[in-house]
Amino acid sequence: MIEESIVDLKKTCTLVVVMHNMQQAARISDSSSFINVDSRRKLGVLVESCPTEKIFTAPQERVLKTILPGGLAKVVLLGDVSP
């Protein structure tokens, strides 16, 4: 229900949603950004920002390649709605 509401809302306005559930982010967003901690422990560093499909299937940054296994990205983008 929440996801359907977000999809409907984004047709008429811009939404910024912060989430930790990467599968849900892949299902509802058009573009995604990954924010992390840098090597000096500085918080809130923008690592990568691009269209959602690209960030989940072909990330450019090593940290994203490490935490986003290719199989997960394929399942998420094909519309898996399992929790």
Alpha-carbon separation of residue 35 from 9, 12, 39, 53, 77 (angstroms):
24, 26, 13, 17, 21
Give the domain ranges of the chain. Answer: 2-77
Alpha helical stretches, state H, 1-83: 2-9, 22-28, 52-57, 62-67, 70-77
Does this model's pTM top 0.75? My answer is no
CA distance 67 to 8: 30
pLDDT for 69? 63
Q: What is the pLDDT along the chain (83 residues), one digit of tens a residue?
A: 888 998 899 999 988 888 888 888 888 899 998 888 777 878 888 889 999 989 888 889 888 887 776 544 443 444 444 44
- Contact, 5 vs 62, CB < 8 A? no
